[in-house]
Amino acid sequence: MATALHIMGELKPSGMERMFESSFPHWKYAGWNIVIVGSGKFHPFAETLQKIGYDIIIIPSVKSLKGFLSLIRIFRLEQWDVIHNHSESMHGPISLISRIVSPKTPIVRTIHNCFQFSGKEKFKRNIQNFMEAKSKVYRVSPSLDVMENEFKLWNVCSQIIENWVDLEGIEKAKKKQKKMEKSGNLIVTLVGNCSPIKNHEFALNVISRFEEIQVFHIGEQSRITADERNLLNSLKLRGALLHDGPSAHVFDFFCLSDVHILSSVHEGMGLVIAESIVLGIETWIKDVPGVQWAKELPGVRFFESQLQLQQMIEEKLQSDFYNRILPEVDSRDLNRFSPNRGVFEYTSLYNSLISRTN
């Protein structure tokens, strides 16, 4: 069995980590063992991935000398068949040192977002991209948005391999949904580990103007902003905050929701968008870089301003939103977002790159 070493940041219940969670048997079936390196101090999802069967190695942040030296030691542990980096931070030095230590090993990097740096950060990323190009790294984008962004802003070519969702978990949640007790209020769900990029306060500012709305706020909160915390506290005081914090049962919350709102500053291929689409939940998305791939999908609406979002909520409140029976999803969307499809495309890429080096 071949082995791929995946380099991650902190292991949280976020996009790629949850994709690992749903895809473990598919990697095994394809003949690949996955070893995951978590870099940093905070790894709340590491135990979950370990219990599933993944080999997990925790090291200090690769931004520190200790963490970077730890990563070099891991590169030297064995002859990895593929090194796959998911980290934006330090991707240049990581690529360069992995090429020096393992001159023949294929190196892949997935670019998980539409990065649009300026000033000093733009200069630093250009240097890192140069280091990565010299290391002959093969790049992957999770959406057409990211691929076009990388080429237009950074002159970087990449292959599209779209993200996938936990179809088995979604099917279980849909069966449970029929037995769930539903509120008479409009229920809105916000999902994502809190940060300025996720920009939850944009939506919460509008939501807080309505007495008829209740909120599921789902995500890890170590990087929550003061504004977001204050808005959540005000919702909690009036009994409108039904959940606040991380959860392993995101699908259950979606099944009780009328609307999923995503107000990020930028995205790559937001996993929660795909999840809510497959669940049949109406999804409202702020029109930003990284979400254009979802424009033609059923149940998706876009907004540009808080005023527009407010008007959409007012319209929704006047409709018959009490009927929350989840609609059947097109089989083409199920195939598009399946773990089997995603793992097949990645392992096909791995095998192709290995064959070129032999």
Sole residue written with tokens 């990645």 = 346
Rg (CA), the chain: 21
Give me the domain span that covers residue 158. 2-164+338-357
Helix 339-357 crosses helix 15-29 at what angle (to 10 degrees)?
Answer: 70
Residues 269 and 143 in one domain: no
Average pLDDT, the chain: 93
**Statement: residue 326 has pLDDT above 80:** no
Shared-domain flag, residues 93 and 232: no
Per residue in 260-288, pLDDT (tens digit) is 999 999 999 989 999 998 988 899 999 99
pLDDT of residue 323: 56
Which two tokens mark 225?
């902003």
Q: What is the pLDDT of residue 357?
A: 84
Rounded mean pLDDT, 136-152: 97
- The one-letter amino acid code at 265 reads V
| Full DSSP string of 222-272 | TT--HHHHHHHHHHHHTT-EEEEE--S-HHHHHHT-SEEEE--S--SS-HH
Say if residues 204 and 271 touch (Cβ distance below 8 Å): no
Per-residue pLDDT at 176: 75
Per the structure, how many domains does the chain have? 2
User: Do 209 and 87 share a domain, yes or no?
Assistant: no
**pLDDT at residue 255 tops 60:** yes
Q: Do 187 and 65 fall within a single domain?
A: no
- Quick one: 143 and 220 in the same domain? no
pLDDT digits (tens, 9 = 90+) for 179-227: 556 667 899 999 998 999 999 999 999 999 999 999 999 999 989 999 9
Residue 124: the pLDDT is: 95
pLDDT surpassing 60 at residue 57 = yes
The verdict on 35 and 121 lying in the same domain is yes
The region of weakest confidence among 14-23, 67-76, 244-253 is: 244-253
Mean pLDDT of 10-37: 96
Most confident of 152-161, 270-279, 329-338: 152-161
Supply the pLDDT for residue 324. Answer: 55
Residue 319 pLDDT > 90, yes or no? no
Measure the CA–CA gap between 234 and 321, rounded to whole angstroms: 25
Q: Are residues 274 and 136 in the same domain?
A: no
Asked if residue 349 and residue 330 are part of one domain, the reply reads no
Q: Where are the alpha helices (DSSP H) in the chain?
A: 15-29, 46-52, 65-77, 91-101, 119-134, 144-154, 167-177, 200-207, 226-237, 250-255, 271-279, 306-317, 331-336, 339-357
Q: Are residues 107 and 150 in the same domain?
A: yes
**Does residue 298 carry a pLDDT above 90?**
no
Q: Mark whether 151 and 185 lie in a shared domain.
A: no
Q: Same structural domain for residues 275 and 348?
A: no
Its pTM stands at 0.92
Backbone angles phi, psi at 270, to 5 degrees: -50, 120
- Return the pLDDT at 269: 92
Task: Report the CATH number that the domain containing residue 182 is assigned in CATH.
Answer: 3.40.50.2000
Average pLDDT over residues 29-41: 98
Q: Are residues 133 and 183 in the same domain?
A: no
